[in-house]
């Protein structure tokens, strides 16, 4: 099966971002472009696997990945299996370079995704818009293109080029950079990162094209008789913070701050320097979408500060931030508190699970093996994870019946409980 859409481009060129062409090929051919393609390409692999060749690099393209290729970038890709499903999108527009830059898509890269259901829905919606009888179908498709790019950025688990890395790899790099003068063993490094040797080697190979000990040796080789000029690195950062507070007068606050993309909206509160977010990017221009832009309406987002009450009385603020883990984390923390009667710290410490897509479920490796096996027997596709970063980060303050405030902080990330 193959389809290609090449919409007739007219006044759409006045849009900041618009669609040049899109398509789907279930048995992708071998493609060689020695001079690249005149426009940026976004290729979305949904089934099967292939290989990308560029700049003397050979990169595997497994399912649930997005391949970004800039304009005029020489490349070659081919299938490794009989069936290799590829969706492709070719965008254009005067604002496209700025948008791609904000989405960290200036350089070619392979992006691994945590969830693809909504991306596939948006792709089909673009296709349907182009084939609708509506005269504004091309405009609707271009609006959906923007939503697709933003949603894709939200679904990234890691990429194989650029500055977005797996948390365990970040820990390993930081540890090596701080201890490379000494002799570091794989056992020591894996113990610090909380992953197996095989997992850590896979991360270094796929993302840095080297081995952990080779990286340490390169860092160690920088020590010499002559001083070197310091060079700036690429610091890693996140964009969301949860906090809660309470006092003896009964005032309580549950608060999440998230810039969302880079510096958010770029609008700062005068006199205070507080940066406003750009969560409005979660709106859609598709009239059939639940997220269609309307006055006095909030966009789709994952900012969910929580608050617990009982019999009309405040128990206290809590929250578990972390993208689409937030509602799942909230449910588990509340179950630990209400159903299992755990104290606030134990409620946060308890092992967590998260639904990813379809039947795929991730479990922290602290669950009992029989729990994992039972879920697999029931038909779940279970992955046991030794890295807990994606399972949310929470804080809690409960007011006890005697008025005492009890606080708890997340063991999976930096946090603290402060009292005065």
- As given in the structure block, the two tokens for residue 110 are 């392979």
For the chain, the distance separating the N- and C-terminal CA atoms, rounded to the nearest angstrom, is 66
Q: Of 134, 166, 127, 131, nearest to 148 (Cα)?
A: 127
Helix (H) or strand (E) holding 199: helix 197-208
Length of the chain: 420
Q: Which of 206, 240, 389, 409 is catalytic?
A: 240
Alpha carbon of residue 417 to chain centroid: 28
Per residue in 144-177, is it b (16+ CB within 10 Å) or e — as a string?
A: bbbbbbbbbbbbbebbbbbebbbbbbebbbebbe
Contacts of 332 (CB under 8 A, 6+ apart): 320, 350, 352, 353
Token pair recorded at residue 185: 């063993």
Give CA–CA dist 325/3, Å, rounded. Answer: 35
Contact call for residues 160 and 206 (beta carbons, < 8 A) = yes
Active site residue 240: yes
* Positions marked catalytic: 240
């Amino acid at each position: 099966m193959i389809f290609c859409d090449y919409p007739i481009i007219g006044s759409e060129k006045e849009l900041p971002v618009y669609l040049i062409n899109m398509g789907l090929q279930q048995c992708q051919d071998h493609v060689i472009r020695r001079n690249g393609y005149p426009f940026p390409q976004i290729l979305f692999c949904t089934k099967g696997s292939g290989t990308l060749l560029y700049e003397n690099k050979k990169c595997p393209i497994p399912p649930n990945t997005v391949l970004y290729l800039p304009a005029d970038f020489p490349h070659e890709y081919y299938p490794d299996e009989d069936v290799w499903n590829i969706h492709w999108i070719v965008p254009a527009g005067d604002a496209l370079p700025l948008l791609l830059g904000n989405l960290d898509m200036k350089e070619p890269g392979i992006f691994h995704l945590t969830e693809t259901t909504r991306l596939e829905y948006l792709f089909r919606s673009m296709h349907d818009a182009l084939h609708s009888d509506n005269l504004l179908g091309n405009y609707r498709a271009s609006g959906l293109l923007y939503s697709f790019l933003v949603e894709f950025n939200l679904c990234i688990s890691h990429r194989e080029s650029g500055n977005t890395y797996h948390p365990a790899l970040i820990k390993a790099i930081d540890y090596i950079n701080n201890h490379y003068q000494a002799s570091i063993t794989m056992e020591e490094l894996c113990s610090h990162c909380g992953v197996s040797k095989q997992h850590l080697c896979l991360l270094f190979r796929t993302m840095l094209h080297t081995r952990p000990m080779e990286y340490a040796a390169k860092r160690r080789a920088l020590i010499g008789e002559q001083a070197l000029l310091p060079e700036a690195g690429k610091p890693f950062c996140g964009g969301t913070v949860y906090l809660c507070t309470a006092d003896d007068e009964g005032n309580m606050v549950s608060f999440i701050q998230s810039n969302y993309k880079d510096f958010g909206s770029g609008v700062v509160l005068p006199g205070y320097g507080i940066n406003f977010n750009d969560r409005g990017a979660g709106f859609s221009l598709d009239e059939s979408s639940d997220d269609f832009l309307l006055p006095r309406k909030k966009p789709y987002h994952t900012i969910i500060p929580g608050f617990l009450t009982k019999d009309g009385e405040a128990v206290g603020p809590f929250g578990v931030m972390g993208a689409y883990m937030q509602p799942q984390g909230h449910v588990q923390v509340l179950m630990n508190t209400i159903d299992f009667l755990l104290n606030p710290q134990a409620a946060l410490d308890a092992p967590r699970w998260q639904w990813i897509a379809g039947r795929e479920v991730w479990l922290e490796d602290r669950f009992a093996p029989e729990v994992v096996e039972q879920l697999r027997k029931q038909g779940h596709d279970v992955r046991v994870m030794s890295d807990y970063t994606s399972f949310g980060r929470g804080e809690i303050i409960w007011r006890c019946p005697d008025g005492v405030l009890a606080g708890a902080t997340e063991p999976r990330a930096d946090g603290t409980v402060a009292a005065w």
